[in-house]
């Protein structure tokens, strides 16, 4: 059984650029969630996808968008990057239908730095 993987590990971008982060969920996990973790903070929920449809969204602007694919992979896209977008981005997958509070399996994260 492979775990949740994310790529790239680290990324440096400049203000105004666009970025795509990738996640590969555990096989069979239909739910994927994305989180932003700023330094010294807990993970903040960005959005969740279930069977390729957005299933919930946190307090993040529309320039944060996502996609989930049938092969258990997903993407987080951020447009018009701002300095405050610098953070660790985590994806987490779970078996639970529509994320019913079940155990989530987290990837190691992508560290994004915006200069």
Partner 1 sequence: DQQVKQNSPSLSVQEGRISILNCDYTNSMFDYFLWYKKYPAEGPTFLISISSIKDKNEDGRFTVFLNKSAKHLSLHIVPSQPGDSAVYFCAAFSGTYKYIFGTGTRLKVLA
Q: Which residues bind partner 1 (CB under 8 A)?
A: 4, 33, 35, 40-45, 48, 56, 58, 90, 92, 99-101, 103-109
Closest approach, Cβ 100 to partner 1, in A, equals 8
Q: Residues in the chain, how many?
A: 115
Residue nearer to partner 1 on the CB measure, 35 or 72: 35
For 24-55, give the secondary structure using H, E and C.
ECCCCCCEEEEEEECCCCCCEEEEEEECCEEE
| Least distance from partner 1 to the Cβ atom of residue 17, Å | 25
Minimum CB distance to partner 1 smaller for 33 or for 68: 33
Distance, CA of 94 to CA of 31 (rounded, Å): 5
For partner 1, the closer of residues 22 and 105 by Cβ is 105
Evaluated on CA atoms 113, 77, 37, 3, the torsion sign reads: negative
């Amino acid at each position: 059984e492979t775990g949740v993987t994310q790529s790239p590990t680290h990324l440096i971008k400049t203000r105004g650029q666009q970025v795509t982060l990738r996640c590969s969920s555990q096989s069979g996990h239909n739910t994927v969630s994305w989180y932003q973790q700023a330094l010294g903070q807990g993970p903040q929920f960005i959005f969740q996808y279930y069977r390729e449809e957005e299933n919930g969204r946190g307090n993040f602007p529309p320039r944060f968008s996502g996609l989930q694919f049938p092969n258990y992979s997903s993407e987080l896209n951020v447009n018009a990057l701002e300095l405050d977008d610098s953070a660790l981005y985590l994806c987490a997958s779970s078996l639970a239908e529509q994320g019913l509070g079940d155990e989530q399996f987290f990837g190691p994260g992508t560290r994004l730095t915006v200069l």
